[in-house]
Amino acid sequence: MATAPILGSQVDSRPATLAYLTEIARAADRRGYHGVLVPCGKACEEPYIVSAALIAATERLRFLVATRPSSMTPTFAARLAAGLDRLSGGRFYLNVVAGGDAAELAGDGVFLDHDARMPRRPSSSRCGSGFWPARPSILPAAT
């Protein structure tokens, strides 16, 4: 008996090629979806790069990028986000995620427990707000 793909794993899953992601984004755009979450993690392509590629392939679809304060400096993340927001005509949103798999976070050099990671989120959001003085849509995620 054949097994079904396991959600959230690479077992029996279709490779997330640019062509496949573009197909999904264009279908969502045509069907009127407001936006999509572009995840971060070891099983995902870098979400800023994925968003940059898909913004060019869509007209109205918005992109909510999950990013971790531990993966880059807040100013660099804010610059990436501000550039993508301008190039997309305001279709880019940022989701600051302080949580995640402990082993994966350790691979990024983060060895703090959940409660110790939480104070990093507000500083990332404050940094980003300087790039979007009129857009309060950059809010930390509840994790």
Helices 120-129 and 74-87 sit at what angle, rounded to 10 degrees?
40
- Report pLDDT digits (tens) over 46-59: 899 999 999 999 99
Give the pTM: 0.72
Sign of the CA dihedral with 27 first, then 31, 34, and 39 last: negative
Pick from 24, 89, 20, 18: which is nearest to 60 by CA? Answer: 89
As a whole number of angstroms, the distance between CA 20 and CA 111 comes to 35
Closest CA to 128 of 139, 114, 120, 141: 139
Judged against a pLDDT cut of 70, whether residue 132 lies above it is answered with no
- pLDDT, position 70: 74
Residue 112's pLDDT band, with cuts at 50, 70 and 90, is confident
58-103: pLDDT as tens digits: 999 999 998 877 778 888 888 999 999 999 999 999 888 777 777 8
pLDDT value of position 100: 75
